[in-house]
Amino acid sequence: MSGRDLRQGAEETYAAELAALASGDDRPRPDNWRLSPQAVVTYLVGGKARDGTTITAKYVGNRRLIETAVATLATDRALLLLGLPGTAKSWVSEHMAAAISGTSRRIVQCTAGTDETQIRYGWNYAQLLAKGPSREALVPTPLMRAMEDGTLVRFEELTRMGSDVQDTLITVLSEKTMPIPELNSAVEARRGFNVIATANNRDKGVNELSSALKRRFNVVVLPLPATLEEETAIVVKRVQEIGTGLALPPIKPADQEIARIVVMFRELREGQTLNGKTKLKTSTGSLSTAEAISVGIGAWAEAGHFGNGQLDAQAMAANLVGAVVKDPVQDRVALQEYLETVVRNRDGWSDLYSAIREVM
């Protein structure tokens, strides 16, 4: 990748950390794994490599969940990362694939329009018409390539595609083979092959997994951050990383302002103030950690390009309203109530109250 790419894959961004872990990793590795399971966990939750290299935490949360997920991928069961939107399912999936297989690019983005040919294989119709069915005319999918090479393949938002298409995976997951009836042959999975899928059951348009398919997955539920401090640390870290990667104009440290975003989101998400004394209307949106990060990035861009170089209430206001008000009626009422009952009376928040009122 060139320096002009908007975003690099995890295996490129953290290449130095992966190399440091690999060089000192003398523990047993499953076939075709770049790192041992213990080193993969260290890569994800942070720590030190044998040579002293600091490994940054990619996931802040329960270490045991990551250990369970990595251990699952070392077996013949596929892994399903389940959770509410914004709980870092895709982020964890990407980093696991990068650490284990050396590539996170084998990915199928599931949608209502995903069909079997995008899961199993397609055809080069020019060659198909000219020469008939042949291996050369076959167009392999990320799933087929992963089976042939013994790597991981990622299925993002598995429940977005129809149940009949989901069930295309059953034979692959149970028999580790992909029949190609047109050629009277099949693709056999090499050791190291496995599937990481992500799904949530909150959004509209979700298709339930069949019982047969569920049995092929080990489910690991990624929760929302347990505490305000934990969620704030995650948002601060990711805003800094993303803003720096986007080469946004430098701004003054904004940890306290980002903490206010997190407080707002947690209170509106949970329907009560942090001290539990005031009940609130909830938003129709998830107000996830990922959305808090997006608000922080948007506010940074606004402050850097149009503000005074400081992430303040004015820079945050429009981004906060845009994140909270997804339903123009219900969410606006919830935000209005929150402003008048909480923000208006909270010490040190008068600037945020005035700024949000201006843009509503």
Question: Cβ(196)–Cβ(154) under 8 Å?
Answer: yes
Residue environment code for 259-280, b if the CB has 16+ CB neighbours within 10 A, otherwise e: bbbbbbbbbbbeebbeeeeeeb
Which secondary-structure segment (H or E) carries 258?
helix 255-270
Angle, CA of 161, 164 and 168, to the nearest 5° = 90
pLDDT of residue 308: 86
- Six-digit token string for 356: 């949000």
**Angle between helices 37-45 and 63-73 in degrees, nearest 10:** 140
In this prediction, residue 294 carries a pLDDT of: 95
Task: Indicate the pLDDT class of residue 254, thresholds 50, 70 and 90.
Answer: confident
| Overall average pLDDT of the 244-267 stretch | 92
Tens of pLDDT, residue by residue over 311-350, are 999 999 999 999 999 999 999 999 999 999 999 999 999 9
What confidence tens digit (pLDDT) does each residue in 5-59 have? 778 899 999 999 999 999 999 999 999 999 999 999 999 999 999 999 999 999 9
* Predicted pLDDT at 6: 76
The pLDDT of residue 201 = 72
Q: Which H helix or E strand runs over 122?
A: strand 121-123
Q: Which residue has the higher pLDDT, 4 or 67?
A: 67
Strand partners, 198: 81
**Structure token digits, residue 344:** 């208006």
Q: Which CATH architecture has domain 10-221?
A: 3-Layer(aba) Sandwich (3.40)
Phi and psi torsions of 326, nearest 5°:
-90, -40
Task: Please check whether residue 97 is in contact with residue 154, taking contact to mean a CB–CB distance below 8 angstroms.
Answer: yes
pLDDT average, residue stretch 245-266: 92
Tokens of 359: 């843009």
Cα 19 → chain centroid = 23
Distance of CA 210 to the CA centre of its chain: 23
Residues 6 or more apart in contact with residue 176 via CB below 8 angstroms: 76, 147, 188, 189, 193
* Integer Cα distance of 202 and 290 in angstroms: 15
Cα–Cα distance, 213 to 332 (Å, whole number): 40
Give the separation between CA 110 and CA 158, rounded to whole angstroms.
Answer: 6
Q: How far apart are CA 151 and CA 112, in angstroms?
A: 26
* Confidence at 2, pLDDT banded by 50, 70, 90: low
Of 70, 76, 62, 302, whose CA–CA distance to 176 is shortest? 76
pLDDT at residue 175, rounded to an integer = 94
Tokens of 14: 């953290």
Dump pLDDT digits (tens) for 179-225.
999 999 999 999 999 999 999 876 656 788 888 999 999 999 999 89
C-alpha dihedral sign at 118, 120, 124, 125? negative
Confidence grade of residue 291 (pLDDT, cut at 50, 70, 90): very high
pLDDT at residue 1 in the model: 47
List Cα–Cα distances, 227 to 61, 66, 289, in angstroms: 10, 19, 12
